Structure 1
Amino acid sequence: MGEWAAGLDVADVPAPVLDRLSLVLLDAAGVTALGAGLDGMRAMRSSWNAPGGPAPLIGGGRCVSVDAAAWLNAMSLVCLELDEGNKYAKGHPAAHGFPAVLALASERDASGRDTAAALLAAYEVASRFGRASRLRPGAHPHGSWGVAGAAAGCARLLGLGPDAVAAAIDTGAGLPVAGHFASATGGNPVRDAWMGASNLSGLVAARMASAGIARNTGTAALSLGTLLGEFDASELTGGLGERWDIARGYFKRHASCSFTHPAADAVLELRHDLDPSRITGILVETHALGAGLAAPEWDNRLSAMFSTPFAVAAALLDGEVGPRARLDDPALRALARRVRLVEAGDLTARLPDERAARVTVELDDGSARTREVPNPVGDADHRPLAEQDVLALLKGWLPGREDLIDRAAAFSRDLPALDHVGERLRGLAGDETDDETKEPK
């Protein structure tokens, strides 16, 4: 794996893979800018009080030190549950390492060719570590297996050789967060900070390798395996350079955990002729991974985003599960209490290729309507989103900041051909005074 990452050159990467990288990068930049506008992230930037530096706070209006940008951009990227993910990795490979790679690329004013290679290395290594890791029940995937990807991407950008890259990867695998899923369902933003830790730890691992003090001792099998679950090392090099996991991910159109999306998509297909006042109950059948998101109550935005009853109710009432959902609307809360979530064995059996849901809406006349979907809309295997779709979503979520999204799109498309990326990346900081992206009251 170290040899592959160290030698990765975008000149040898198939054009469709580079197109997908461009789209994932656009999504990451746009969603980071959206998250940066939340009141909590504004307060976090103020509290951090990072000194000025070479790396942009995307959508945050200024440039700061590499470490601060890596951490804060990672938190902004994941805080609205809108970032790209991968069902085979069982999480979010891009968010684990893209902020670190981009911050480091800004500091080094790296070439677009090297930056693109580093981003691909970060994604592919993280995804394979996600495939290889089977975390203990209750563990959240943020900040654990993906640190190895952040380390790989940063090491590739530093131009390290195969042995050093391997040592960085193993060191990154020795810096996981042991986060509990209940922190997410309970609405604790420490869950967002786990991604900040992943990106900063990836930088640390690569710097240790650059300094010659990192060692490759099989730490991954101990940290991700013995301590946090099970680890199958045979997954790490499967299809390297042949199978590109970045092409098999999903983009989100709902601001909620991906496990809630199939149910939301199903009720959207049923919604056009339904009167919510006539609904007596909604049965949602899902797979084992999503069966725990059953809470019909929520205390804040984060706990709502990990509630299938919330996502279903929002989709039925608003026609979307957007970043500005009416969290305290009495009608939304009342409808959510009528949602029942259960595991269905036949849907669990279809994992990992499908993350299906079956929704049955029961009406006051005794009739019922059922819809089943195999994967969320936006998955590479089910109604995938193209660039125009991602752009439309981002511009709809960021009114008044279309210029920033256009700059992100142009940078993402141009990346492999750029001689230097620093100035273009810093242009993505935008203007923090735009009130349109503030968190709704």
Structure 2
Amino acid sequence: MTDAVEATARLGEWVARLDAARAPGPVLDRLSLVLLDVIGVTALGAGLEDARAMRSAWNAPDGPAPLIGAGRRVSVDAAAWLNATALVSLELDEGNKYAKGHPAAHGFPAVLALAAEVDASGADTAAALLAAYEVASRFGRASRLRPGAHPHGSWGVAGAAAGCARLLGLGPEAVAAAIDTGAGLPVAGHFASATDGNPVRDAWMGASNISGLVAARMASAGSARNTGTAALSLGTLLGEFDPSELTEGLGDRWDIARGYFKRHASCSFTHPAADAVLDLRPGLDPSRITAVLVETHALAAGLASPRWDNRLSAMFSTPFAVAAALLHGEVGPRTSLEDPRLRALARRVRLVEADDLTARLPDERAARVTVALADGTTRIREVPNPVGDADHHPLDEWELLALLRRWLPGRGDLIGRAAAFARELPALDHAGDRLRELAGGDETKEPK
């Protein structure tokens, strides 16, 4: 407990004094890309029928914060929750293999909603976003969740709290108290909810962002304390917790520069296999494929079901991702789930763990794919990480924009505003109006 208290206190000092102007240039460049990705993917998720239905059921009052891509401005808490769930609903949000999850999604929606409310400066907003990411990632590194636990809504709440506390201008002790409070508000979600297609998995990310707001407000009110809660909540109850990870390389190592962007609408564990078959696809007739063997690491070995009954469960199926990549050349957000060819090919995909690939974690999330053909020949391809990983074919702004334009046809104006806002953020005197522009469209009517 003492170690957790001291480490959280050091994080509080670092966050309270974090100045975006002093961050290395490549870190700010990466923040711009992550922010662009967050905004674009949120707008894409906001267009889903489920997201529209949820906005209608919520019936949030008008307010200062944008529902990104949905044509409305609502209260801060509603925006934080609804934007967060839209962001993760298509499995296209940025992630980090060292954190073992999605640091940005845990806190960026809350920070952006709060920044719109307080009309924060661009510099303060950028610092708060960096704080949210770095603290979340460090808590992800420090946490070793029990087998079966899903990372959404657990270790990342501390990052959401850190970002919101930085935006409120709290001092070091109060920021530490907010971080500790956030660490005491985790969701204990089971990974099977994702593979079973239960949307509660998306709601865990909404809960993370609202809990981050709550933790920062408690600290602002003076009612929060730093007692090393993470050692008990993320440690004793949910797994194991190593406080030393919270401060390792603090101020020198920036985890935001080590993340990945996604080009497939599926769990990142499925991406190396999808990338491998895309490399094998030229000249390959899917109808002549008799079997596909996918060897993977231990973290991905559970995504083996060739059956799905909705998009969420499909996105957590490696057979789905491999079959979609082979048939369509992509695992897109609009891939038809009922295509009989897709289901038939998925049934020919077998997923197994390979010890040699597990041994390469966490630096590599590798996959080895063997495609067997009707003429008795095989084709083999191994990839060390998914395309889009900072360590393996990283995506630049041009490539991200190309993906967003393909996924969001007819929303070029919104994508342009998002790109400009992401690039210009640190220099803005006020971020509120620019953030509200990201709602897009007519305030009284959602885009069709």
TM-score, normalisation: structure 2: 0.97
Could you say which residue in structure 2 is the equivalent of 1:75?
85
CA offset at residue 11 of structure 1?
A: 1.4
In the TM superposition, what are the counterparts of 1:92-111 in structure 2 within 5 Å?
92-111=102-121
Alpha-carbon separation, structure 1, partners of 2:446 and 2:347: 39
Could you say which residue in structure 1 is the equivalent of 2:19?
9
CA offset at residue 160 of structure 1?
A: 0.3
Could you say which residue in structure 1 is the equivalent of 2:355?
345
CA offset at residue 143 of structure 1?
A: 0.1
User: Are 1:117 and 2:127 counterparts?
Assistant: yes
Q: For residues 128-169 of structure 1, give each alpha carbon's deviation from its aligned partner in whole angstroms, at most 9, with x where no partner exists.
A: 000000000000000000000000000000000000000000
CA offset at residue 366 of structure 1?
A: 1.1
Asked whether the equivalents of residues 275 and 383 of structure 2 are also in contact (C-alpha less than 8 Å), the reply is: yes
Could you say which residue in structure 2 is the equivalent of 1:438?
none
Could you say which residue in structure 2 is the equivalent of 1:170?
180
User: Are 1:228 and 2:238 counterparts?
Assistant: yes
User: Are 1:147 and 2:144 counterparts?
Assistant: no
In the TM superposition, what are the counterparts of 1:160-239 in structure 2 within 5 Å?
160-239=170-249
Q: What SS does structure 2 have at the residue aligned with 1:160?
A: coil
Alpha-carbon separation, structure 2, partners of 1:277 and 1:63: 49
Asked whether the equivalents of residues 109 and 209 of structure 2 are also in contact (C-alpha less than 8 Å), the reply is: yes
Q: What SS does structure 2 have at the residue aligned with 1:230?
A: strand
Alpha-carbon separation, structure 1, partners of 2:398 and 2:379: 33
Could you say which residue in structure 1 is the equivalent of 2:8?
none
The partner residue of 1:62 within 42, 62, 72 is 72
Q: What SS does structure 2 have at the residue aligned with 1:56?
A: strand
Could you say which residue in structure 2 is the equivalent of 1:252?
262
| Matched residue type, 2:437 | G
Alpha-carbon separation, structure 2, partners of 1:240 and 1:71: 29
| Matched residue type, 1:219 | T
Q: What SS does structure 2 have at the residue aligned with 1:272?
A: coil
The partner residue of 2:49 within 39, 45, 63 is 39
Alpha-carbon separation, structure 1, partners of 2:446 and 2:151: 34
Could you say which residue in structure 1 is the equivalent of 2:147?
137
Alpha-carbon separation, structure 2, partners of 1:207 and 1:43: 29
Q: For residues 243-278 of structure 1, give each alpha carbon's deviation from its aligned partner in whole angstroms, at most 9, with x where no partner exists.
A: 000000000000000000000000000001111111
Alpha-carbon separation, structure 2, partners of 1:253 and 1:14: 27
CA offset at residue 98 of structure 1?
A: 0.1
CA offset at residue 14 of structure 1?
A: 0.5
Q: What SS does structure 1 have at the residue aligned with 2:31?
A: helix
Which shows bigger deviation, 425-434 or 392-401? 425-434
Asked whether the equivalents of residues 70 and 447 of structure 2 are also in contact (C-alpha less than 8 Å), the reply is: no
User: Are 1:434 and 2:447 counterparts?
Assistant: yes
Alpha-carbon separation, structure 1, partners of 2:198 and 2:320: 17
CA offset at residue 376 of structure 1?
A: 0.2
Could you say which residue in structure 2 is the equivalent of 1:405?
415
Q: What SS does structure 1 have at the residue aligned with 2:176?
A: helix
| Matched residue type, 1:5 | V
List 4+ stretches of structure 1 deviating above 4 A: none
Alpha-carbon separation, structure 1, partners of 2:412 and 2:357: 40
| Matched residue type, 1:66 | V
Alpha-carbon separation, structure 1, partners of 2:233 and 2:338: 41
Could you say which residue in structure 2 is the equivalent of 1:393?
403
Alpha-carbon separation, structure 1, partners of 2:242 and 2:284: 47
Alpha-carbon separation, structure 1, partners of 2:250 and 2:401: 30
Q: For residues 321-354 of structure 1, give each alpha carbon's deviation from its aligned partner in whole angstroms, at most 9, with x where no partner exists.
A: 0000010000000000000000000000000000
Could you say which residue in structure 1 is the equivalent of 2:274?
264
Alpha-carbon separation, structure 2, partners of 1:270 and 1:27: 28
Alpha-carbon separation, structure 2, partners of 1:26 and 1:364: 44
Could you say which residue in structure 1 is the equivalent of 2:285?
275
Q: What SS does structure 1 have at the residue aligned with 2:41?
A: helix
| Matched residue type, 1:338 | R
Q: Which runs of 5+ in 2 are unaligned?
A: 1-10
Asked whether the equivalents of residues 260 and 390 of structure 2 are also in contact (C-alpha less than 8 Å), the reply is: yes
CA offset at residue 22 of structure 1?
A: 0.3
CA offset at residue 21 of structure 1?
A: 0.2
Alpha-carbon separation, structure 2, partners of 1:358 and 1:434: 42
Asked whether the equivalents of residues 71 and 447 of structure 2 are also in contact (C-alpha less than 8 Å), the reply is: no
Could you say which residue in structure 1 is the equivalent of 2:4?
none
CA offset at residue 240 of structure 1?
A: 1.3
CA offset at residue 239 of structure 1?
A: 1.1
Q: Which runs of 5+ in 1 are unaligned?
A: 436-441
CA offset at residue 365 of structure 1?
A: 1.3
CA offset at residue 231 of structure 1?
A: 0.2
| Matched residue type, 2:125 | T
Q: For residues 69-119 of structure 1, give each alpha carbon's deviation from its aligned partner in whole angstroms, at most 9, with x where no partner exists.
A: 000000000000000000000000000000000000000000000000000
Alpha-carbon separation, structure 2, partners of 1:136 and 1:188: 20
Q: What SS does structure 2 have at the residue aligned with 1:134?
A: strand
Alpha-carbon separation, structure 1, partners of 2:130 and 2:83: 18
CA offset at residue 433 of structure 1?
A: 3.9
User: Are 1:88 and 2:98 counterparts?
Assistant: yes
Q: For residues 294-345 of structure 1, give each alpha carbon's deviation from its aligned partner in whole angstroms, at most 9, with x where no partner exists.
A: 0000000000000000000000000000000010000000000000000000
User: Are 1:23 and 2:33 counterparts?
Assistant: yes
Alpha-carbon separation, structure 2, partners of 1:31 and 1:137: 29
Alpha-carbon separation, structure 1, partners of 2:93 and 2:142: 22
Could you say which residue in structure 2 is the equivalent of 1:334?
344
Q: For residues 194-251 of structure 1, give each alpha carbon's deviation from its aligned partner in whole angstroms, at most 9, with x where no partner exists.
A: 0000000000000000000000001000000000000000000111110000000000
Asked whether the equivalents of residues 51 and 86 of structure 2 are also in contact (C-alpha less than 8 Å), the reply is: yes
Could you say which residue in structure 2 is the equivalent of 1:439?
none
CA offset at residue 434 of structure 1?
A: 3.1
| Matched residue type, 1:376 | P
